[in-house]
Amino acid sequence: MLFGGVASGLITNSTTRADYVFFSLYDTRLDNDKFKVIGVLNNFVILQQPNPEHAEQGQPSTIQENTPVSQTRFQALNDPHAAPVRALRVDYFPAKEGQWPPIIVDAVDGQQPQNVVRQIEKPQFLKLLGDDYDEFASFIAVGTEVKRDRDYLVGSGCTAHDCADKPGIFVIEIKTGRVFAAIIDSDKVKAWGVDQAVDLPYPILVWLAKNKLTID
């Protein structure tokens, strides 16, 4: 589908697929080049791609060194050429509110995440985050505009001067107004709005995958 014609058949014949509960892993070999891709609900993120130096030496490329991934759900990545698997500490904070007020999509779509959390939807984030409100707000201090993704409004960002280790995200379910949030602090994850990973909305799962992480 991506390439068409002869290239499509070549990719298909060179690719193996492993299906898991929430995602699929694809491995493709073309000559000495190796690709590894994760697919989550029609979103695809490259986890491993060719390294020119390794290709010249006839060696497969590897995932970036020290990439933190979950011990259980990414066990398939723990092969001789993959980086060591690191288990994550995950803290869940279920929502205390059973009902959420309706969301005004046009008021949030296109806004800066910090503006949504600090002003437009501040009461809802205070309900969700409680004493963690200021901490979470710092993890989206630097961000891009909120975007609609199917049934969700998604805002993401990071801590100023520390984007590599401290990103954050919030997701608002358009139909219900329900709010979810998560942050990554080095090798730890906090998730608000759920009490288990299976209940996380898919934009957060995709965001975790883009940050080369997953949670059990």
pLDDT in tens, 33-66: 676 777 776 667 666 555 544 434 444 433 343 4
> Distance between CA 59 and CA 54 in Å, rounded?
5
How do strand 152-158 and strand 142-143 relate by DSSP bridges?
Answer: antiparallel
Return the DSSP state at 116: I
Q: Among residues 128, 119, 120, which one has the least CA distance to residue 100?
A: 128
> Distance between CA 178 and CA 200 in Å, rounded?
12
Burial of 66 (0-12, 13-18, 19+ CB in 10 A): exposed
pLDDT of residue 27: 74
> Distance between CA 83 and CA 210 in Å, rounded?
16
Residue reference for tokens 């409100």: 133
CA angle 172, 121, 105 (to 5 degrees): 55
Q: Is the pTM of this model over 0.75?
A: no
pLDDT of residue 62: 39
pLDDT of residue 109: 95
pLDDT of residue 171: 97
Residues of the chain where predicted confidence (pLDDT) is lower than 50? 1-8, 10, 52-87
pLDDT of residue 19: 66
Pick the CATH number of 89-210 from 3.40.1420, 3.30.460, 3.30.450, 3.90.75: 3.40.1420
Which tokens in the block code for residue 112?
């800066």
Q: Where in the chain is the domain with CATH 3.40.1420?
A: 89-210
7: part of which helix (H) or strand (E)? helix 5-13
> Which residue type occupies 23?
F
Which tokens in the block code for residue 73?
């759900």
pLDDT of residue 47: 62
pLDDT of residue 14: 61
